[in-house]
Amino acid sequence: MSLFKKIVGKIINQGEDDDSQSLERLGDSLKNADLDYKFAQLFTHSGGFFNYCADEAEALQTLNQIIKIEEIKSVFCCDNDLRNFLDVIKSNYTENLDPDNDAAFITCEYLIAYDGRIMLSHNNIKHFHSSRLPEKIIVMANVSQIVSNLNEAMSKIKRNGNVKNLTSISGNQGKLDNPSNENTKLFLLLIED
């Protein structure tokens, strides 16, 4: 019976292994690339939607397009600066996570170039776990937030202090946290600073 479990386990996990090996191969092939290019490639490879914005005006236009195309009706947004963006485009939002929210508009701590993941903390999503966020997540970040790896991000967080409840998300977050929900979409608006 244990041989049967091993065979079934290998068949079920084969797709996940192929994805992680493919991501590792891509990461290895980009080891000498610029951090922003490497992050963008790995983030999109893992299923994220990458949007480079030259300035806040372009980010506002892109945000408006995402909200219209994805038919977003209510947004969870706990950041004062980001709520200003939502006010300009006249989008409904709540400051607390609500079951009616079909998207979250958040900031992040760092963008990890090593594997294309986005690091979040309580500053970005309050006390909520990333798996409780709506199926559509829009993250706004600056190019200066890209770091080479998790160690560099952790070093910067230790220097800054007062950051807790760290977690990370990637384009395939929906597959990891909730296998039955294949509609999770992660959008990144990366602004040049």
- pLDDT tens figures, 125-183: 988 888 899 999 999 999 999 999 999 999 998 888 777 888 889 887 544 344 444 56
- pLDDT bin (cut points 50, 70, 90) of residue 18 is low
Q: How many CA atoms lie within 13 A of 16 on its CB side?
A: 10
Strand 110-112 with 93-94, pairing: unpaired
| Sequence-ordered strand ranges (E) for 17-134 | 49-53, 75-76, 93-94, 103-106, 110-112, 117-120
pTM above 0.85, yes or no: no
Residues 124 and 178 reside in one and the same domain: yes
In which domain, by residue range, is 16 found? Answer: 1-32
- pLDDT > 70: percent of the chain: 79
Task: Tally Cβ neighbours within 10 Å of residue 166.
Answer: 15
Residue 13 has pLDDT above 70, yes or no: no
Residues 60 and 4 reside in one and the same domain: no
Residues 57 and 150 reside in one and the same domain: yes
CB distance 119 to 172 below 8 Å? no
Residues 105 and 163 reside in one and the same domain: yes
Which DSSP letter does residue 172 get? T
Task: Tally Cβ neighbours within 10 Å of residue 125.
Answer: 24
Residues 28 and 48 reside in one and the same domain: no
Alpha helices, DSSP H, located in 46-177: 56-69, 80-88, 122-125, 150-160, 173-177
* pLDDT recorded at residue 33: 77
Residues 26 and 116 reside in one and the same domain: no
Residues 26 and 89 reside in one and the same domain: no
d(C-alpha 15, C-alpha 19), whole Å: 6
Residues 141 and 184 reside in one and the same domain: yes
Give the total number of structural domains in the chain.
2
Q: In whole numbers, what is the pLDDT of the chain averaged over residues?
A: 84
d(C-alpha 143, C-alpha 166), whole Å: 20
Residue 74 has pLDDT above 90, yes or no: yes
